[in-house]
Amino acid sequence: MLKSLLRRIGNRSPVEIGHLAIKNVRHAIAALGPEARAARAADLAFDRRWGTDTSGGLSTRELGYGDDLAERCRRYDPSSEAMLRAPVSALGLDPAEHAFIDYGAGKGRVLMMAMEMGFRHVVGIELSEHLCEIAKSNIATFVAQHPGMDQAEIVAGDATAYRPSGRSIVAYFYNPFDASIMAEVRTRLEEALGVGAEAVTVIYANPEHDAVFRDAPRWAAGPLLPGISTFRLTT
């Protein structure tokens, strides 16, 4: 706990530490309010409907990430249904025309949402082996209730090692890692254009490092939603 606190404070100035403390107090107060209660209820609703296990969060310590990884990789928290449905609708995407990748797939909730929405080929990359096992079990439970549905693929490993493929790709990120990993993943997505892909669309929720795409010459910003940035790369 103390280690994680020291890591977050890092080299920040007293003013920055003050802002961080205020942000945390605001967060704690908001967590008691009606909006947070509604969000918690919505968070549980997905699992209640499908009998899956995707709710709640897990810290990087609980995921077994050592100090080095915890610096660069983020904790597990599930996306809400709106975090995928709203940008897909704002972008006017036809899921049947796109392959879907969730970078940092966690327990697989976004993968199941993408399968339900009819994305053509759904893949999740997840660093934690433990979360990969949970995601596989969740997906099996979900598919059993959707006869004929194609099962999402889970790839265990670091997002930077994955080589995306498909003609039109949607890459989803729920703030899974820091800017340096994000920049490497952006390069992998750019490389996909050289080997058959014609377009890549990024949906980035809680976009802490969206400058990685905003400042990259080949990427165009798409619709901006509350807490969600989108970007597009075409040939």
**By the criterion CB under 6 A, which residues form the site for ligand SAM?**
63, 73-74, 76-79, 102, 104-106, 109-110, 125-128, 131, 158-159, 174-177, 181
Closer CB to ligand SAM, residue 106 or residue 222? Answer: 106
Q: Are 163 and 192 in contact (CB under 8 A)?
A: yes
- Work out how close the CB of 216 gets to ligand SAM at its nearest, in angstroms, rounded to a whole number: 19
- Work out how close the CB of 225 gets to ligand SAM at its nearest, in angstroms, rounded to a whole number: 15
Closer CB to ligand SAM, residue 131 or residue 197? Answer: 131
Closer CB to ligand SAM, residue 111 or residue 200? Answer: 111
Shortest-Cβ-distance residue relative to ligand SAM: 104
Residue 178 neighbours by CB distance under 10 Å: 15
- Work out how close the CB of 15 gets to ligand SAM at its nearest, in angstroms, rounded to a whole number: 28
User: What is each CA distance from 16 to 9, 10, 22, 155, in whole angstroms?
Assistant: 9, 11, 10, 38
* CA pseudo-torsion sign 69, 30, 210, 127: positive
Q: Are 156 and 126 in contact (CB under 8 A)?
A: yes
- Work out how close the CB of 206 gets to ligand SAM at its nearest, in angstroms, rounded to a whole number: 8
- Work out how close the CB of 118 gets to ligand SAM at its nearest, in angstroms, rounded to a whole number: 19
Closer CB to ligand SAM, residue 63 or residue 233? Answer: 63
Closer CB to ligand SAM, residue 21 or residue 39? Answer: 39
Q: Which two tokens stand for residue 222?
A: 């798409």
Strand order, beta sheet including 199-205: 153-156, 121-126, 99-103, 168-174, 199-205, 228-234, 220-221
Rounded Cα distance between 127 and 63, Å, is 9
- Work out how close the CB of 226 gets to ligand SAM at its nearest, in angstroms, rounded to a whole number: 16
Closer CB to ligand SAM, residue 106 or residue 166? Answer: 106
Q: Are 101 and 124 in contact (CB under 8 A)?
A: yes
